[in-house]
């Protein structure tokens, strides 16, 4: 399926999907200076630079994101390190077709940006990564794939994050394939 990625960070999941042969037809970002945006430019993937300051509200920005993806005939959206919450105009257009990847075993350490630091602070010896459907309920949409990741005694945030990323590179492609298979059995967008 034609994938649209929404990114704000380094872009290693974006890179992993592109190199894994996924059909990434458009990338939208709220942070045009992020590493993921640079990677999209390098690969000549159409990039929607949608900083909030260009719009009068989040809804207006999200309507522009929806229109940008629609113009590239995006069928499935992947939030790969997006640090904002989608508002209604976007959620409604892509309901049931947005996957997010989160660096913990949801529902543990959900709803916040610092799930890796939280895992370290809490003293758990297992955390992980989750790919789930995005709904209005932050980090609480149906789970598609998860992988547990051990926390080592001498882990720093950086070493743990790296190990979690490795799990993400496996579960995000898996979740996309699973959702693609499910959607292939249902009518396409707009039909
Ligand atoms: C990932 O850890 C993801 O779980 C979280 O943001 C990070 C994005 O990393 N939502 P990258 O930009 O793909 O390298």
pLDDT tens per residue, range 85-139:
999 999 999 999 999 999 999 999 998 889 999 999 999 999 999 999 999 888 8
Greater model confidence, 132 or 189: 132
Q: Which residues contact 79 (CB under 8 A, 6 or more apart)?
A: 5, 6, 86, 98, 99, 100, 101, 134
Q: What is the pTM of this model?
A: 0.94
Confidence band of 44 (pLDDT split at 50, 70, 90): very high
pLDDT > 90? residue 173: yes
pLDDT value of residue 185: 87
Asked if residue 36 has its Cβ within 6 Å of ligand 1, the reply is yes
From atom 6 of ligand 1, which residue's Cα is the shortest distance away?
Answer: 81
All residues at 6 or more sequence positions from 41 whose CB lies less than 8 Å from its CB, including other chains:
47
User: Cα separation of 122 and 138, whole Å?
Assistant: 21
CB 62, CB 54: distance < 8 Å: no
Average pLDDT over residues 67-88: 97
3-class DSSP state of 168: helix
Q: Does residue 128 have its Cβ closer than 6 Å to ligand 1? A: no
DSSP string for 103-167:
SSSTTTT-SSS-HHHHHHHHT-SEEEEEEEE--SSTT-SPEEEEEEEEPPTT--HHHHHHHHHHH
Distance 72 CA to ligand 1 centre (A): 24
What pLDDT shows up at residue 137? 86
| Among candidate residues 35, 27, 42, the one with its CA nearest the CA of residue 11 | 35
The percentage of the chain sitting over the pLDDT mark of 70, rounded to a whole number, equals 97
Q: What is the pLDDT of residue 35?
A: 98
CA of 82 to the centre of ligand 1 (A): 8
Q: What is the dihedral of CA 10, 11, 15, 20, to 10 degrees?
A: 130
* Average pLDDT along the chain: 95
């Amino acid at each position: 399926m034609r994938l649209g990625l929404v990114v704000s960070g380094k872009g290693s999941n974006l890179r992993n999907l592109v190199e894994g042969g996924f059909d990434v037809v458009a990338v939208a970002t709220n942070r045009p200076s992020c590493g993921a945006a640079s990677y999209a430019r390098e690969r000549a993937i159409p990039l929607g630079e949608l900083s909030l300051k260009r719009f009068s509200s989040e809804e207006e920005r999200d309507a522009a994101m929806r229109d940008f993806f629609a113009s590239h005939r995006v069928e499935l959206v992947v939030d790969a390190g997006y640090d904002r919450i989608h508002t209604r105009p976007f959620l409604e257009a892509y309901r049931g077709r947005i996957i997010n990847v989160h660096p913990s075993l949801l529902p543990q350490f959900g709803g916040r940006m610092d799930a890796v630091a939280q895992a370290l602070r809490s003293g758990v010896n297992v955390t992980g990564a989750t790919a789930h459907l995005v709904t209005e309920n932050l980090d609480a949409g149906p789970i598609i794939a998860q992988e547990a990741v051990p926390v080592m005694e001498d882990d720093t945030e950086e070493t743990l994050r790296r190990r979690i990323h490795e799990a993400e590179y496996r579960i995000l492609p898996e979740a996309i394939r699973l959702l693609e298979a499910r959607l292939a059995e249902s009518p396409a967008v707009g039909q």
